[in-house]
């Protein structure tokens, strides 16, 4: 089964960029030999040859730390050596380094890859980060105003019900 790795850069010098890969093993790092490359100057937490995504014996995928200085985190947990790669995951390249959302899909399934571009030989220049940007962890979305209103409505409703019960109790005396 031909599989494709879809990558969305959640943080780092390539934030908001998307790309896809079909050739494995896939080296990750700052060196020119890496298929998934980071900016050598702006992504200092990433080693020259940091990690690799490769097939395992069972046909799945594993992520392997290639002796990097800052390690790798898979869904928030540090990887020691190698770890099975789930079909969807967040990979942090170097503790405090760039975060990637990874999604493995069947390339022949007919899923539209319109938002993802095919990986080119030369990576596009990274976007500059704006000093005022605030990054949110992928696992902690901002609270929505709808959920705040729902909580407020529950509190007000509870207070009104309590007031009604108290008023009834006082009249019964």
CB-based contacts of 83: which residues, under 8 Å, 6+ apart?
62, 63, 74
- Token duo for residue 149: 């209103």
In whole angstroms, what is the distance from residue 75 CA to residue 90 CA?
5
- What dihedral angle (degrees, nearest 10) is formed by the CA atoms of 124, 125, 127, 129? 140
As a whole number of angstroms, the distance between CA 88 and CA 91 comes to 10
* Confidence band of 117 (pLDDT split at 50, 70, 90): very low
**What sign results for the dihedral spanned by CA atoms 10, 102, 98, 76?**
positive
In a domain, 112, yes or no: no
Q: How confident is the model at residue 56 (pLDDT cuts 50, 70, 90)?
A: confident
Same domain, 101 and 159: no
d(CA 83, CA 65): 9
* Domain annotation covers residue 118: no
Range of the domain at 150: 144-173
Place of tokens 């990097």: 68
Tell whether 90 and 154 lie within a shared domain: no
If asked whether residues 101 and 158 sit together in one domain, one would say: no
pLDDT tens figures, 17-30: 999 999 999 999 99
Give the end of a domain, one of 56, 82, 106. Answer: 106
Asked, for residue 32, whether it belongs to a domain, the answer is: yes
Q: Which pTM value belongs to this model?
A: 0.61
Alpha-carbon span 73 to 94, nearest angstrom: 7
Percentage of the chain exceeding pLDDT 90: 55
* Residue 111 domain flag: no
Tell whether 127 is covered by a domain. Answer: no
Q: What is the pLDDT of residues 26-50, one digit of tens each?
A: 999 999 999 999 999 999 999 999 9
Domain boundary among 49, 78, 106: 106
CATH number at residue 13: 2.60.200.20
Q: What's the total number of domains in the chain?
A: 2
């Amino acid at each position: 089964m031909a599989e494709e790795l879809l990558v969305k850069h959640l943080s780092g010098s390539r934030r908001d960029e998307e790309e896809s890969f079909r050739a494995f093993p896939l080296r990750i790092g700052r060196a020119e030999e890496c298929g998934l490359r980071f900016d050598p100057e702006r992504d200092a937490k990433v080693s020259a040859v940091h990690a690799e995504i490769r097939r395992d014996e069972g046909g799945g995928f594993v992520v392997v730390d290639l002796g990097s200085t800052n390690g790798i985190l898979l869904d928030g947990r540090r990887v020691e050596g190698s770890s099975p790669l789930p079909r969807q995951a967040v990979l942090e390249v170097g503790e405090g380094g760039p975060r990637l959302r990874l999604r493995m899909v069947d390339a022949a399934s007919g899923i539209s890859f319109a938002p993802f571009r095919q990986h080119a030989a030369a990576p596009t220049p990274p976007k500059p980060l704006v000093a005022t940007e605030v990054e949110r962890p992928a696992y902690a979305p901002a609270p929505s105003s709808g959920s705040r209103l729902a909580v407020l409505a529950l509190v007000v409703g509870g207070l009104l019900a309590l007031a009604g019960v108290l008023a009834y109790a006082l009249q019964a005396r």
